[in-house]
Structure 1
Amino acid sequence: MFGSLRLLLALLVALSHVGVSVRGYHLGVPAVVVFLLLSGYVVAAMLHGAPAWRAFWAERALRLLPPYYTAAALGVGVWLLSGAAIPFFSGAGQPALWLAALAIIPLNYATLWPVLDTFTPVPPAWSLGLEIQFYLLAPWLLAAPRRAALAWAASAAVGAAAQLGLLPSDAFGYRLLVGNLYIFLSGAALYWVQHGPAANAARWRAALYLTWAGVAVVAAATAALGRWGTPFVAEVAVGYLLGLPLVAALARLSRRRWDDALAHLAYPLFLVHFAALWALQGAGRQPSPQAPLALAAYLCLALALAAAVHLVAQRPWLHWRRRLRAAAQAAPSCGA
């Protein structure tokens, strides 16, 4: 039962982008980490057994792309109508950046090539690039447990190196697949523990315990080294350490219709909250913790836009997504 969790995570991301934090720590980063755990769980459910890879990729495309392109068009429209100098559109004159925004996949490399951040109609879309990269690899990667285990160990090592300062923490500890694949695979392992063969469940459970303990040890080391103020060291650790047991607990609950309804708003809210922010800024209102009325207006507008995107660009595809999930041997209890 993940719908309410998804909506809460999307709200945390939206709030983080108007300055809401906990003692200066970013709320959106641990939310994204939990999103990655959920994605791993759902993908493992869809690829359980002998999946049809093309059906899986088609379902994921229908899941991500129509709402994304609708939100991107909305963002561009708000920018054009407002006439404001929004930094995320400063590179709008470069056709290559439009192509990158349309392709989505390169967007999580903005920490290495900052020019990518100068044209992003949907600024959080970098995490969609990260997810798409995982989706492209998942059928091949999850088909062989040994392959998945090796990739998990290598990625966890890269993530730990980034946390400890041996690699750039923002890029290799948060945005690039090489340092985050272990998070997706931890979500997949949760599914395998709960729904896979009993003979393999003990090994994946041990891998989860070992990874959780390893993240805790690295987090303690980074705190001792004074690195918790480094982006986004503390937030990634907290997201994993709290998110893994939370997802494991919620996965055992039965689906509810109201929970599914909340899930329909989560992804569109994740996509459109910047458009809501820009619209209010264009009207001379700046949402912030110090301006509660403007903050409430921001959340209401973002939720209203999310509902509209769901009706226009998400709901019409639900029937086809269900058919494709059936073709890809989806597990109806996973939720997405």
Structure 2
Amino acid sequence: MGAYRLLLAVLVAVSHMGKTLFGLNPGVVAVISFLLISGFVMTSLIERNYTSTEKIPLFYLDRALRLYPQFLLYFVASCAVIYYLLPGTPQAAELTFKTIAQGLAMLPLGFYMFGVGGTQILPAAWSLGLEVCFYLVIPFLIIFKARGVAFALSTVIFMVACLGYINTDVYGYRLLPGVLFIFLCGSYLYKPQGKGLAIALGTALVAALMFAAIMAGLIERRPFNAEVTAGIALDIPAVYLLTRLGYHRIDEFLGNISYGVFLNHFVVMYFLRAFWPVAYDAHIVAAVLILAFVLSGISYYFVEKPALKLRHALRAGRKYEVGPSQGGEPAV
């Protein structure tokens, strides 16, 4: 799934440069797929390495070692670019001790709508706060076999939000209660069996019908409800098929740089904006992506890969080198 994950990161980046696809925000559709992949990978990780409550703290440490190294690098880099090159901007206004501290904690980024965490230093990182919320609960849902109840409750919250009875954007896309069922669809795709596979594919079918109803005007279009339903309908079959594919070194390499691209494209955008404050035409979009790819390759090998060895040593209880099939799991 490496090439697919890199494509998702690119879609997030181009959406932040104001690009749409068939009138939809491609970044939102990509985030939905990241949630599904995360549900799949976390279920695999827990069932193979963290199958008891005593091991849950080790799971949290594993996740911190995954998320933080490149996040810290690009968060600090973004602060530096904003401070030195973009003074007097809304981004610069967020360079306060409180906002930076909340951002570094990562979890508050997922609650920016309540006035915490900030939105300007690394705007895409709000979904990392959502990821952290999922990491906090998924070991318990798997160990205590509570996925079914959580799926049902989350689906109800999403439906209420999608139909506009509560804030659609906040509760139907941003916060864990309304999107936990999307993570869990990915979870059900790990070792898919009759019931779990039926739940995931049935969810995709219902989402496709809801997307059609939204586009036809039968359900009022609200912030991102079309994108979220389209993402569920398209991404569940895509993730199911892609997880059936075998390992390929090029695919692994593309997946390895996807997290960096997801994190660093705003740093690149801010840097270029300081020197060429122009619209994002095709040339600027290409420049942003090329620089993001190069920086991500560097940060993967010098920042992410050492942490990857630590994570694998943590799981095995001993030190060993990273093999070709062990790299490149998704963060978002």
C-alpha contact 1:84 1:282 (8 A) present in aligned 2: no
1:142 maps to what in 2?
A: 142
What is the CA-CA distance between 1:273 and the residue it aligns to? 0.3
Report the residue type matching 2:273 in the other structure: Q
Range that drifts further, 311-320 or 35-44: 311-320
Query: For 1:257 and 1:11, how far apart are their aligned partners in 2?
Result: 20
Q: Counterpart in 1 of 2:292? A: 302
Q: Counterparts of 1:55 and 1:224 in 2: how far apart (Å)?
A: 48
TM-score calculated relative to the size of structure 1: 0.88
Query: What residue ranges of structure 2 are gaps of 5+ in the alignment?
Result: 319-324
Match of 1:245 in 2: 237
Aligned counterpart, 1:27? 26
**Per the alignment, do residues 273 and 188 of structure 1 end up closer, same or farther by CA in structure 2, a change over 3 Å counting?**
same
Residue of structure 2 equivalent to 1:48:
47
- Between 257-266 and 212-221, the greater mean CA deviation after superposition: 212-221
Kindly provide the CA deviation profile for residues 171-227 of structure 1, in whole angstroms up to 9, marking residues without a partner as x.
00110000010011000000031xxxxxxx212122223322332333344334465
Counterpart-to-counterpart distance in 1, 2:305 and 2:24: 35
Residues in 1 aligned to 2:297 and 2:220: alpha-carbon distance in whole angstroms? 37
Unaligned runs of 5+ in 1: 194-200
CA RMSD of aligned residues (A): 2.1
> Which residue identity does 1:165 align to in structure 2?
G
**Offset from partner CA, 1:217-247 (integer Å, 9 cap, x none):** 3334433446564211111111111000000
Residue 152 (structure 2) aligns with: 153
2:226 is equivalent to residue 234 of structure 1:
yes
Distance in 2 between the 1:334 and 1:39 partners? 15
Determine the C-alpha separation between the residues in 1 that align with 2:21 and 2:199: 31
Q: TM-score, normalised by structure 2?
A: 0.89
Aligned identity (percent) is 35
Following superposition, the deviation at residue 162 of structure 1 comes to 1.2
Deviations 1:90-146 (A, max 9, x none): 2323x32222101111212223x246435x42111110000011111111111133x
User: Aligned letter for 2:118?
Assistant: D
Q: For residues 12 and 169 of structure 1, what CA distance do their matches in structure 2 show? A: 22
Distance 2:79 2:25 in 1: 26
Secondary structure of the corresponding residue to residue 191 of structure 1: coil
Equivalent position of 1:63 in the other structure: 66
CA distance in structure 1 between the aligned counterparts of 2:307 and 2:261, rounded to whole angstroms: 18
Partners in 2 of 1:313 and 1:335 — Cα distance?
A: 13
Q: Alpha-carbon deviations, 1:17-50, whole Å to 9, x = none?
A: 1111113321100100000000000000011163
Structure 2 CA distance, aligned partners of 1:226 and 1:309?
47
Equivalence for 1:198: none
Letter of the 1:234 counterpart: A
Kept in 2, the 8 Å contact 1:287–1:298? The answer is: no
Q: Which has the higher contact order (CA 8 A, sep 6+)?
A: 1
Tell me which residue corresponds to 2:321.
none
Distance 1:24 1:54, change over 3 A: same
DSSP 3-state at the match of 1:192: coil
Counterpart of 1:178 in structure 2: which amino acid? P
- Cα distance in structure 2, aligned partners of 1:185 and 1:48: 14
Q: How does 1:176-191 map to 2 (within 5 A)?
A: 176-191=175-190
| C-alpha contact 1:285 1:294 (8 A) present in aligned 2 | no
Give me the whole-angstrom Cα distance separating, in 1, the residues matched to 2:118 and 2:173: 16
Q: In 2, are the aligned partners of 1:88 and 1:123 still within 8 Å (CA)?
A: no
- Whether 1:73 and 2:76 are equivalent positions in the alignment is yes
Inter-partner Cα distance in structure 2 for 1:232 and 1:14: 17
Q: Measure the CA separation in 1 of the matches of 2:2 and 2:65.
A: 18
| Residue type at the aligned position of 1:216 | A
Read off the aligned partner of 1:294 and give its amino acid letter: I
SS in 1 for 2:101: helix
Shift of 1:157: 1.1
